[in-house]
Structure 1
Amino acid sequence: MAAQGFDVIVIGAGPGGYVCAIRAAQLGLKTCVVEREHLGGICLNWGCIPTKAMLRTSEIFHLMHRAKEFGLKADGIGYDLDAVVKRSRGIAKQLNQGVGHLLKKNKVTVVMGAASVPEPGKVTVVTDKGEETLTAPSIVLATGARARELPGLEADGDRVWTYKHALTPPMMPKTLLVIGSGAIGIEFASFYSALGAETTVVEVMDRILPVEDAEISAFARKSFEKQGLKIMPKASVRKLDRARDGVTAHVETGGETKAIKVDVVISAVGIVGNTEGLGLEKLGVKVEKTHVVTDDHCRTGVKGLYAIGDVAGAPWLAHKASHEGVMVAEIIAGRNDVHPVKVESIAGCTYCQPQVASVGYSEAKAKELGYEVKVGRFPFIGNGKALALGEPEGMVKTVFDAKTGELLGAHMIGAEVTELIQGYVVGRQLETTEADLMATVFPHPTLSEMMHESVLDAWGRAIHY
Structure 2
Amino acid sequence: MAKHYDLIVIGGGPGGYTAALRAAGLGLRTAIVEKEKLGGTCVNKGCIPAKALLHASSIFETLQNSDEFGVSTDFISFDFKKMQHYKKRSVKAYRNEIKELIETAGIQVIYGTATIRRGHTVEVNSPEGKDYYEADNIIIATGAKPVVPNIPGADLPGVLTSDRLLTSEVWNYDRLTIIGGGVIGVEFATIFNALCSNVTILERGRHLLDPMDGEVSQALEGELRRKGISVFCNTVIKEIREDANQGLVCVFTMNGEEQTLRSGQIVIAAGRTPYMEELIGPDVDFEMENGHLKVDSDFCTSEPGIYAIGDVADRKKLAHVAAAQGTYVVEKIAGVKHTIRLCVVPKGMFVELPVIPGCIYTEPEVASVGLTKEAASACNMKVGCGRYLMSGNGKSIITREQSGFIHLVFEEYSGTLVGAQIMCPRATDMISEMATAIANGLTAEQLMLAMRAHPTYSEGITEAIQNYLETKGEIKE
Alignment of 1:340-355 (within 5 A): 341-342=342-343, 344-355=354-365
Query: How many angstroms apart in 2 are the aligned matches of 1:352 and 1:64?
Result: 17
Q: Deviations over 1:188-211 (max 9, x none)?
A: 011011101111111111111223
What SS does the aligned partner of 2:367 have? Answer: strand
Q: In the TM superposition, what is the alpha-carbon distance from 1:280 to its structure 2 partner?
A: 6.3
Alignment of 1:401-416 (within 5 A): 401-416=411-426
Alignment of 1:229-244 (within 5 A): 229-243=229-243
Contact persistence 1:193–1:229 (CA under 8 A): yes
Q: Deviations over 1:127-157 (max 9, x none)?
A: 1110000001100000000001101267558
Q: Deviations over 1:296-318 (max 9, x none)?
A: 21111311100011111121000
Q: Give the corresponding residue for 1:114.
A: 113
2:466 aligned partner, one-letter code: L
Q: In the TM superposition, what is the alpha-carbon distance from 1:407 to its structure 2 partner?
A: 1.4
Query: How many angstroms apart in 2 are the aligned matches of 1:337 and 1:199?
Result: 45
Query: How many angstroms apart in 1 are the aligned matches of 2:104 and 2:463?
Result: 45
Q: Give the corresponding residue for 1:247.
A: 248
2:133 aligned partner, one-letter code: L
Q: Deviations over 1:307-359 (max 9, x none)?
A: 01111112100001111111111111122546652282100111111111111
Contact persistence 2:123–2:133 (CA under 8 A): yes
Q: Deviations over 1:93-120 (max 9, x none)?
A: 1212222211111000000000011113
What SS does the aligned partner of 2:249 have? Answer: strand
2:276 aligned partner, one-letter code: T
2:269 aligned partner, one-letter code: A
C-alpha RMSD of matched pairs (Å): 1.9
Contact persistence 1:350–1:356 (CA under 8 A): yes
Unaligned residue ranges in structure 1 (runs of 5+) = none
Alpha carbons of structure 1 residues 376 and 7: separation in structure 2 relative to 1, 3 Å: same
What SS does the aligned partner of 1:231 have? Answer: strand
Query: How many angstroms apart in 1 are the aligned matches of 2:470 and 2:216?
Result: 21
Query: How many angstroms apart in 2 are the aligned matches of 1:337 and 1:318?
Result: 19
Q: Are 1:104 and 2:103 matched, yes or no? A: yes
Q: Give the corresponding residue for 2:184.
A: 184
Contact persistence 2:9–2:31 (CA under 8 A): yes
After TM superposition, the runs of 4+ consecutive aligned structure 1 residues lying more than 6 A away are: none
Q: Give the corresponding residue for 2:448.
A: 438
After superposing the two structures, state which structure 1 stretch, 452-461 or 54-63, moved more.
Answer: 452-461
Q: In the TM superposition, what is the alpha-carbon distance from 1:429 to its structure 2 partner?
A: 1.1
Query: How many angstroms apart in 2 are the aligned matches of 1:284 and 1:340?
Result: 30
Q: Give the corresponding residue for 1:447.
A: 457
Give the TM-score normalised by structure 1: 0.96
Alignment of 1:178-217 (within 5 A): 178-217=178-217
Unaligned residue ranges in structure 2 (runs of 5+) = 344-352
Alpha carbons of structure 1 residues 321 and 284: separation in structure 2 relative to 1, 3 Å: same
Q: In the TM superposition, what is the alpha-carbon distance from 1:362 to its structure 2 partner?
A: 1.6
Alpha carbons of structure 1 residues 120 and 153: separation in structure 2 relative to 1, 3 Å: farther
Query: How many angstroms apart in 2 are the aligned matches of 1:153 and 1:209?
Result: 25
Q: Deviations over 1:130-187 (max 9, x none)?
A: 0000001100000000001101267558411111122123333111111111110000
Contact persistence 2:117–2:282 (CA under 8 A): no
Q: Give the corresponding residue for 1:48.
A: 47
Q: Give the corresponding residue for 2:329.
A: 328
Q: Give the corresponding residue for 2:222.
A: 222
Query: How many angstroms apart in 2 are the aligned matches of 1:154 and 1:298?
Result: 39
Query: How many angstroms apart in 2 are the aligned matches of 1:132 and 1:42?
Result: 25
Q: Give the corresponding residue for 1:11.
A: 10
Contact persistence 1:407–1:428 (CA under 8 A): yes
After superposing the two structures, state which structure 1 stretch, 242-251 or 210-219, moved more.
Answer: 242-251
Query: How many angstroms apart in 2 are the aligned matches of 1:207 and 1:340?
Result: 31
Alignment of 1:29-428 (within 5 A): 29-152=28-151, 156=155, 158-169=157-168, 170-243=170-243, 246-279=247-280, 282-337=283-338, 341-342=342-343, 344-428=354-438
Query: How many angstroms apart in 1 are the aligned matches of 2:306 and 2:165?
Result: 35
Query: How many angstroms apart in 2 are the aligned matches of 1:120 and 1:202?
Result: 47
Alpha carbons of structure 1 residues 280 and 186: separation in structure 2 relative to 1, 3 Å: farther
Contact persistence 1:347–1:422 (CA under 8 A): yes
Alpha carbons of structure 1 residues 6 and 91: separation in structure 2 relative to 1, 3 Å: same
Contact persistence 2:417–2:444 (CA under 8 A): yes
Q: Could you tell me the percent identity over the aligned residues?
A: 32
Contact persistence 2:327–2:340 (CA under 8 A): no
What SS does the aligned partner of 1:258 have? Answer: strand
Query: How many angstroms apart in 1 are the aligned matches of 2:194 and 2:341?
Result: 40
2:212 aligned partner, one-letter code: E
Q: In the TM superposition, what is the alpha-carbon distance from 1:404 to its structure 2 partner?
A: 2.0
2:314 aligned partner, one-letter code: G
Query: How many angstroms apart in 1 are the aligned matches of 2:238 and 2:468?
Result: 44
Alpha carbons of structure 1 residues 361 and 159: separation in structure 2 relative to 1, 3 Å: same
Contact persistence 1:297–1:340 (CA under 8 A): no
2:57 aligned partner, one-letter code: S
Q: Deviations over 1:30-79 (max 9, x none)?
A: 10000001100000001111111000011111111111111110221110
What SS does the aligned partner of 1:51 have? Answer: helix
Count residues with an aligned counterpart.
463
1:378 aligned partner, one-letter code: Y
Q: Deviations over 1:243-286 (max 9, x none)?
A: 57621111110111101110011111111101232226742321
2:257 aligned partner, one-letter code: E
Query: How many angstroms apart in 2 are the aligned matches of 1:257 and 1:246?
Result: 19
Alpha carbons of structure 1 residues 148 and 398: separation in structure 2 relative to 1, 3 Å: same
Give the TM-score normalised by structure 2: 0.93
Contact persistence 2:324–2:340 (CA under 8 A): no
Query: How many angstroms apart in 2 are the aligned matches of 1:281 and 1:290?
Result: 18
Q: In the TM superposition, what is the alpha-carbon distance from 1:28 to its structure 2 partner?
A: 0.4
Query: How many angstroms apart in 2 are the aligned matches of 1:413 and 1:163?
Result: 24
1:257 aligned partner, one-letter code: E
After superposing the two structures, state which structure 1 stretch, 136-145 or 336-345, moved more.
Answer: 336-345
After superposing the two structures, state which structure 1 stretch, 400-409 or 58-67, moved more.
Answer: 400-409
Contact persistence 1:125–1:133 (CA under 8 A): yes
Contact persistence 2:172–2:264 (CA under 8 A): no
What SS does the aligned partner of 2:470 have? Answer: coil
